[in-house]
Structure 1
């Protein structure tokens, strides 16, 4: 059932999606929520919660919550079986990270928007210059992206420092493109620099959660929705692998297009 919710994300209204993201981020708590609780925690109206439930094929919130509780119970059984089988705490930790990475890739597959990816590839192939912005952990992928694009003959520079991003954005012009990487979609250091680039006439391609502030600033957004809610100070996003997989796919498609053009 969680897979059904994820598969429907791109078809939902913004309010329905906020409800879905809240529920996906809090599956255990959702079981005990009333309709009013679900609306309050999601920041939407009660009718929006009802519409969310009906979009998924349920009669209403009560019907949804009953079926959702049954689905979560099955997940609990799987988790308990894994925990009981993992006498080795090191192995258990590794398996937990593997499972979260696998779930993130499954989410990515459910969120594929072929038209958006095709538009991004077309923009990148026509770009005079491609600058890649990432901050924190996303900065590592930005650096790798620079090397991958350079290997394909596309002029590219990666910037993970906000001040250097600003200088880059000020130098952009129509015909240039930014790839903005943000696992959360709300990277505060990134947004002002994207605004500068947009005002300069540059195109923006983002890899970030659907409906996030950074996604709304982009000409094309490629959905990376694995990061649903920060889990605490010790949160280690194994789910970041989904962004790497999508970037690999972009590079592969660009390479194929350039190869076809050369023959």
Structure 2
């Protein structure tokens, strides 16, 4: 049992009757709670919404959102974690691992609403709609999401840039300005190359949209807009799997939001590109 759930169990006897009902419900259904609102939890446990807030404070957590994030982190890093090196001590067959990967990725995606702030997301959409140049940068596993963003937004007619080469971007960023956006993608929010380039872009007047784990990392603190992913795997791991899925999901959502906003103005270009693809098939 995770430390958060243990803390709840250990404190049940000192909680009020209403708070105890909430604690018991959480202990019995921990995997359901990250997808609930305070209204959902209060209804399912038979108490008022204010009791949910009091419950969180009683166990030392300031808000229900923070509680859900801590619960998500513990569930994913303990019960569902596949990417740390403990996998070497397990005897799962290939198809068993396939099923587990499917479950873990699905669970990671479903927890994004607990970490992503709606106002920040809507600010990002407004910023992108009025942008001229978009730069996407990430290293390691985050480079996959950066390239995906570059490819998708290029299809929407944006002047997009993506490269693995740090020094190439050092040459490009001086041409950025107040109408441009730098996408800084980093799970930890501590990757030095990502931080240095995002800071350089800000000095040129560009806005930085960070796709990073929720927390108090340097990137989280310094970005103009934070599109936060939940903590779904440890920083020391075999490879980026569920964390990459959360980054890609946010990129997909941004792309569809902008496509919907632009809609009619770019349909002819989409059809033209599609016709060429069909014509050139071999």
The normalised TM-score by structure 2 is: 0.61
Partner of 1:109: 113
Which of 222, 225, 229 is matched with 1:224 structurally?
229
Per-residue deviation, 1:199: 0.7
> Number of paired residues?
200
Per-residue deviation, 1:197: 0.7
Partner of 1:241: 245
Per-residue deviation, 1:159: 2.4
- In 1: Cα distance, 2:59 partner to 2:145 partner: 44
- In 2: Cα distance, 1:261 partner to 1:251 partner: 15
**Structure 1 residue 214 corresponds to structure 2 residue 226:** no
Partner of 1:122: 126
**Structure 1 residue 169 corresponds to structure 2 residue 173:** yes
Matches within 5 A, 1:1-263: 1=26, 56-58=56-58, 89-210=93-214, 211-232=216-237, 234-259=238-263
The normalised TM-score by structure 1 is: 0.65
Highest CA radius of gyration, 1 or 2?
2
- In 2: Cα distance, 1:112 partner to 1:123 partner: 17
Per-residue deviation, 1:226: 3.2
Segments of 4+ moved more than 4 angstroms: 1-8, 260-263
Per-residue deviation, 1:131: 0.9
Consecutive unaligned residues in structure 2, runs of 5 or more: 1-25, 37-52, 62-66, 80-89, 268-282
* Distance 1:218-1:60 versus aligned 2 partners, 3 A rule: closer
